[in-house]
Amino acid sequence: MQSRNVTLPEENKRNIIEINLTVPAEFVLVGFSDIPKLHWFFFGIFLFIYVIILLGNGLIILITKVEPTYQTPMYFFISNFSFIEICYVSVTLPRMLMDLCTLKGNISFYGCATQMCLFLFLGTTECFLLVVMSYDRYVAICNPLYYPLIMNHKMCNQLVVGSWVIGIPIQVGQTYHIFSLPFCKSNKLNHFFCDMPQLLQLTCGDIFMSKIMFYIPTVLFVTVPFMLIVGSYSRIISTIVKLPSSTGRTKAFSTCSSHIIVLFLFYGSGGITYLKPKSNEYEGTDKILSLFYTILTPMFNPLIYSLRNKDVTMALRKFFPSLFTLQKN
């Protein structure tokens, strides 16, 4: 049998190219579907964690609003941080619970874009709010006499609003750029939510500039805030060491230790995930690390602040008896 070359018309070639580069109608989040026998086990664990996150962070917000003694800048920032944690985890965890329940990870193109944009925006807000909290501790410990003057009500509101607003234009632009790229590979994301590194692996063509646009905001919103926090705490620690009273040193360290623990949990897992070289060999590791900064850190946040903070513990003891008294009346 003789083979012969078939020449396709130019119009047909263009149609084939357009089909290969078409925008997918939906993506499929693989998540934990590779181990379907354990999907109800994972569903129960993550549902329990989600409830703990909502109750724990919600309780911190309630205490800081109800108790007059906690109307201070530090607790104002802690309550805002708890609110961000609730929003941050609600972007990914309810969707993951639904996928575990139905064993379907289908998510629409625009739904995926919305999830990624919100996730990046809230993550950026959290990074800058952690900087604000470290600055608050720096002023309180290094310049205690000027603390009421510097951290006044107007300044606190401006710092919180700035933390929310600063990342909006860049993250919206970044999301628009990623979802404008041609997706010519599989529409399966080996992740439990729409994240930028996994989406970049599905695009084709020259994505060098796309990677540059990915790493520049990552360095800007992860590395720069982290260095500012390190600078603040280096000054704080040097000031604490010079305090003449051992009681004063212990109190200052205990005030900052909760913040430092949250920092290491969030920046440690998030920084490794986003700044390390991407490889298909470590996709399972990426999912585990993602669980730390998307789910476990928001869960540990109220536990760390309540268990390591004597003021919050005392507020809880006052608050719950008052609830029981109201119920009896």
Residue 141: CATH number of its domain:
1.20.1070.10
Q: How confident is the model at residue 156 (pLDDT cuts 50, 70, 90)?
A: very high
Instruction: Name the domain count of the chain.
Output: 1
Mean pLDDT score of the chain, rounded to an integer? 78
- Please give the residue range of the domain that contains residue 49: 24-275
Q: Is 320 part of a structural domain of the chain?
A: no
**Predicted TM-score of the model (pTM):** 0.81
* pLDDT for the residue numbered 2: 42
Place of tokens 């600055």: 135
Q: Is 39 part of a structural domain of the chain?
A: yes
Q: Is 305 part of a structural domain of the chain?
A: no
**Tens digit of each residue's pLDDT (9 = 90 or more) over 199-248:** 888 887 666 766 777 777 777 777 888 888 888 888 888 888 877 766 66
- Token pair for residue 319? 């608050």
Q: Is 55 part of a structural domain of the chain?
A: yes
Q: Is 177 part of a structural domain of the chain?
A: yes
* pLDDT for the residue numbered 180: 85
DSSP state of 242: T
Q: What 3-state class would DSSP assign to 106? A: strand
Q: Is 173 part of a structural domain of the chain?
A: yes
Quote the CA–CA distance of 167 and 48 in Å, as a whole number: 31
Q: Is 4 part of a structural domain of the chain?
A: no
Quote the CA–CA distance of 226 and 270 in Å, as a whole number: 11
The average pLDDT across 88-115 equals 90
Q: Which of 316, 299, 304 is nearest to 53 (CA)?
A: 299
Q: Is 308 part of a structural domain of the chain?
A: no
- Token pair for residue 205? 């063509």
Q: Whole-angstrom distance between the N-terminal and C-terminal Cα of the chain?
A: 95
Residue 320 has pLDDT above 50, yes or no: yes
